[in-house]
């Protein structure tokens, strides 16, 4: 793969993208790049005011709709208002936050990063024409999906382990979704991406000493513009295959240009993936249909 940049995005005129968390960070960069390529971009944001400021700068190719992934009622309301989407970009997330719960009682990180996006994808899937892109992280290597205690009700809560579990869940979901799409004969693709180590505001919301430590680490991080390239490639490159994982091409996948990368063995465990899928349907009440 050559050093792919936003200059290589093919013309996206006539296509609609939904980007979650598009009011800041990687999501904002992604939304701006997609709109610049001609796409109509729906900025799906919890903070509508911030989203509107971004949309105003983008111009006519952008619109803002409220979406709180930590509230399934909000997810359902958002999905009911979307008529068509070519590409869904599951970008939003929270990282290493203190123990707290979503509106539906889920642990915040698994609830927002995985269950919220699982529900959103299931509710929109019959309107997706091209692909679903789900953002994971190198932190998936820190995680273990505990199907007996997905919401950290029995275990002692560890914020980074919980984050790792949610990012591992993103990959298990991506690969299982692709298997089910393939089995159904669907042409829709499910693709995952990760940004490497990119400087965004995600690192400043852990509400702990990590905010300061990661602020120092940002001196060595790549820009949000570089960090967004893998998800932009995953969302727009015509030759991306379903079930692939896109990340930076530099040392240890910390920085660089997009390439196909390999996730860990846990992310490829089909038994865990099926169990997570069944539990996600039960918890969210969203049951996927793979009709033609």
Q: Let me know if 292 is exposed, middle or buried by CB neighbors in 10 A (0-12, 13-18, 19+).
A: exposed
The percent helix, strand, coil of the chain (3-state, each to 5) is: 45, 15, 40
> Choosing from 157, 163, 175, 233, which is the catalytic residue?
163
Pick from 258, 256, 251, 200: nearest CA to 230? 258
Spatial distance between the Cα atoms of 171 and 166, rounded to a whole number of angstroms = 9
Q: Could you tell me the CA-to-CA distances from 218 to 85, 175, 211, 245, 251 in Å, in that order? A: 34, 31, 10, 24, 17
The token pair at 6 is 């936003």
The token pair at 206 is 């852990």
Q: What is the DSSP letter of 252?
A: G
Q: Is 257 one of the catalytic residues?
A: no
Q: What is the DSSP letter of 7?
A: G
Residues annotated as part of the active site: 163
């Amino acid at each position: 793969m050559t050093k792919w940049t936003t200059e290589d995005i093919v013309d996206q005129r006539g296509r609609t993208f939904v980007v979650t968390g598009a009011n800041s960070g990687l999501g904002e960069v992604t939304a701006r790049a997609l709109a610049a390529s001609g796409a109509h971009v729906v900025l799906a944001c919890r903070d509508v005011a911030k989203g509107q400021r971004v949309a105003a700068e983008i111009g006519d190719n952008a619109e803002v709709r409220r979406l709180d992934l930590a509230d399934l009622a909000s997810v359902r309301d958002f999905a009911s208002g979307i008529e068509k989407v070519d590409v869904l970009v599951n970008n939003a997330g929270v990282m290493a936050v203190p123990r707290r719960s979503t509106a539906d009682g889920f642990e915040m990180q698994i609830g927002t990063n995985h269950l919220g996006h699982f529900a959103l994808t299931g509710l929109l899937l019959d309107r997706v024409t091209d692909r679903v892109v789900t953002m994971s992280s190198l932190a998936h290597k820190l995680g273990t999906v505990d199907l007996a205690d997905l919401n950290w009700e029995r275990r002692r809560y560890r914020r980074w382990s919980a984050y790792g579990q949610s990012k591992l869940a993103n990959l298990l979901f991506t690969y299982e979704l692709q298997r089910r799409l393939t089995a159904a004969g669907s042409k829709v693709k499910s693709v995952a991406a990760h940004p490497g180590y990119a400087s965004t505001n995600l690192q400043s919301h852990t509400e702990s000493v990590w905010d300061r430590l990661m602020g120092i680490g940002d001196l060595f991080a790549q820009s949000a513009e570089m960090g967004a390239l893998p998800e932009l490639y995953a969302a727009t490159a015509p030759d991306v295959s379903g079930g692939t994982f896109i990340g930076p091409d530099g040392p240890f996948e910390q920085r660089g240009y997009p390439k196909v990368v390999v996730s860990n063995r846990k992310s490829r465990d089909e038994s865990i993936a099926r169990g997570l899928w069944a539990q996600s349907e039960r918890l969210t009440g969203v049951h996927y249909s793979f009709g033609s």
